[in-house]
Amino acid sequence: MIRRSVSNLVSQKKPAVSREEMHGDRLMMPFVSVGCRKCRKCTEVCPTDAIEISEEWTVDIGKCIFCMECVESCPSSAVKEVPAPLYADRRDGLIFGVSRPPGESEGGIEKSKAEILSDSIAIRELDTGSCNACEVEVNCMSNPFYDMSRFGMKIVASPRHADVLLVTGPMTRNMKAAALETFEAVPSPKVVVAMGTCAISGGIFVEGDVFGEGIKDTLDPDIYIPGCPPSPGRVLIALLKAFGRD
């Protein structure tokens, strides 16, 4: 009885999730199919104005919070859920339309930086005003299930020890100066990653007390990882691919 009781208090050892399983953790995004009548129902329900209809239907997944209200609102069922790309190396690389359907980015971290940093990546997470959802996912990256250390990645406490600045949240005005100081403290070469909708575009906070739309008006991201929030597996696979290791 005592042995059984004690064994229940000990965490069961779990193997770290494989890369294949992390690849299977797909983020679904809205995208229009044939049959769209441009009734604009989807634009009316979108809380972040991620969908626009002019000459063609377009969606900006840098603004999207993936609520899928647009899918539910479409009277002709023309808006479908399709897999979203892992990341983009340009802000406009997250905007898709009929003439530019979703696809994985072919770019990545600048080659000169990737060659120096890719074998051992020290990450400093910088919260510039988030709701803490992204922070929960970042914390999970270090647990035994995702085990980021097996890829040579680790979270560091000081920006002076970092290679990558992983930024979450919209750029609130009272964090702008601190964000710039943190960026300057990271030694070169350094990589800036915008993680999640708020860091990319401001998300639902874009009309609040923030500076610009996301962090791009303060910092210059090397890659943008969409999601609200992105899962730990997606962030890890995106970093590996962007650094040319996947």
Whole-number Cα distances in Å, 97 to 34, 53, 77, 203:
12, 10, 17, 20
Mean pLDDT, the chain, whole residue set: 92
Burial class (CB in 10 A: 0-12, 13-18, 19+), 231: middle
* pLDDT tens-digit readout, 67-84: 999 999 999 999 999 999
pLDDT for 14 beyond 80: no
Give bridge partners of residue 58 from the DSSP assignment: 52, 97
Whole-number Cα distances in Å, 36 to 61, 79, 86, 94:
19, 8, 26, 21
Residues 165/124, Cβ–Cβ less than 8 Å: yes
* pLDDT tens-digit readout, 31-71: 998 889 999 999 999 999 999 999 899 999 999 999 999 99
* pLDDT tens-digit readout, 132-190: 999 999 999 999 999 999 999 999 999 999 999 999 999 999 999 999 999 999 999 99
Residues 163/122, Cβ–Cβ less than 8 Å: yes
- The percent of residues above 90 in pLDDT, for the chain, comes to 83
Whole-number Cα distances in Å, 19 to 16, 133, 142, 224:
9, 23, 15, 20
What pLDDT is recorded for position 9?
A: 47
**Assigned CATH topology for domain 26-85:** Alpha-Beta Plaits (3.30.70)
Confidence band for 3, pLDDT divided at 50, 70 and 90: low
Average pLDDT on 99-124 reads 92
Cα gap 5→100, rounded to integer Å: 58
Could you tell me which residues come within 8 angstroms of residue 4 by beta carbon, excluding any fewer than 6 positions away? none
* β-bridge pairing 57-60 and 79-83: unpaired
pLDDT for 11 beyond 60: no
DSSP 84: P
Burial class (CB in 10 A: 0-12, 13-18, 19+), 31: buried
Domain with CATH 3.40.50.12280 in the chain: 111-242
Residues 30/80, Cβ–Cβ less than 8 Å: yes
Domain with CATH 3.30.70.20 in the chain: 26-85
Q: What's 111-242's CATH class?
A: alpha beta
Q: Give the global pTM.
A: 0.92
